[in-house]
Amino acid sequence: MTVFLRQSWRDERLTYNHTNKTLGLDSRFVDKLWLPDTFIVNAKSAWFHDVTVENKLIRLQPDGVILYSIRITSTVACDMDLTKYPMDEQECMLELESYGYSSEDIVYHWSESQEHIHGLDKLELSQFTITDYRFNTEMMNFKKAGRFPRLRLHFQLRRNRGVYIIQSYVPSILLVAMSWVSFWISQSAVPARVSLGITTVLTMTTLMVSARSSLPRASSIKALDVYFWICYVFVFAALVEYAFAHFSADYMRKQRAKTKSNKSSTEVCLRFFC
């Protein structure tokens, strides 16, 4: 995700009274100011943007209040429960904390203005839709290091299901329906029914493999896996049903032929003795 992280604090050493204007400082002044050592706790990777210049903004107000804004792109870790995939809803967090300053040195809190978090309502993701978000502040207690304030932003995410309906659910439903078509084909049409059964089984196998290749890796069984295996059982059962029906019909035909042959032999013997 790409965020504009805006931090504000007051440094009494930088107050001035010769003008009421807010001063915009060059980003080169960053090294000359005291800055909070804020970092993203659950970030797997992150970097600053520097094209065409460093994406940093510094503004100084007469009362010594500093506004420091930076643009960051970060890959954030999120623990997901995929048992209901792809009909799942997830909660992810963005956690901010000071790396070296404890609660005795620095205190974090969300801005009191109504625009402390904005842009999420218009954010569009390829796989998820943000349904809700909330934020809070917690105090983390580390025995040796001390207590550290942490800001948390919680995202409620709902997975977009349209692509899975089109790519997985609809084709599998059609394959199951196609396998049931063999029930209306004459039992004597062995090549037609066998080829239809084998084709649906192989196609269902291919669909399962292709779908699993795009699934997120997880040790738990997903709802989509259960659905695919149920469809596979229906398709395979249609093929087994025809094999059983063909075997039963062939067995009955042989039994009738054997019974008819025994009756003919009995009639010949009776006529001979008569």
Q: How many CA atoms lie within 13 A of 13 on its CB side?
A: 3
Q: What's the rounded Cα separation, in Å, for the pair 199 and 176?
A: 11
The mean pLDDT value of the chain amounts to 86
Residue 260 reports pLDDT greater than 90? no
Confidence bin at 262 (pLDDT 50/70/90) = low
Residue 144 has a pLDDT of 83
Write down which residue in 76, 93, 126 finishes a domain: 76
Examine residue 266 and say whether the peptide bond preceding it is cis (omega within 30 degrees of 0): no
Amino acid at 142: F
- List, for residues 168-206, the tens digit of each pLDDT value: 999 999 999 998 888 888 777 778 888 888 888 899 999
Look at residue 260 and give its three-state secondary structure. Answer: helix
- List, for residues 37-92, the tens digit of each pLDDT value: 999 999 999 998 988 888 989 999 999 999 999 999 999 999 888 899 989 999 99
Same domain? For 90 and 46 the reply is no
**Which residue would you say has higher pLDDT here, 117 or 144?**
144
CA distances from 211 to 61, 83, 206, 222 (A): 56, 16, 8, 12
Confidence bin at 239 (pLDDT 50/70/90) = confident
Write down which residue in 52, 76, 100 finishes a domain: 76
Residue 270 has a pLDDT of 47
The two structure tokens encoding residue 89: 């809803």
Mean pLDDT of 109-132: 78
Given CA atoms 119, 125, 128, 129 in this order, what sign does their dihedral have? Answer: positive
CATH number of the domain bearing residue 133? 2.70.170.10
Q: Cβ atoms within 10 A of the Cβ of 254, count?
A: 10
Same domain? For 33 and 129 the reply is no
CA-atom Rg of the chain in angstroms? 35
Q: How many domains does the chain have?
A: 3
**Which residue would you say has higher pLDDT here, 175 or 219?**
175
Same domain? For 55 and 96 the reply is no
Percent of the chain with pLDDT over 70: 93
Residue 213 reports pLDDT greater than 60? yes
CA distances from 268 to 54, 205, 261, 264, 274 (A): 109, 57, 11, 6, 10
Same domain? For 39 and 108 the reply is no
Same domain? For 14 and 89 the reply is no
Write down which residue in 160, 195, 220 finishes a domain: 160
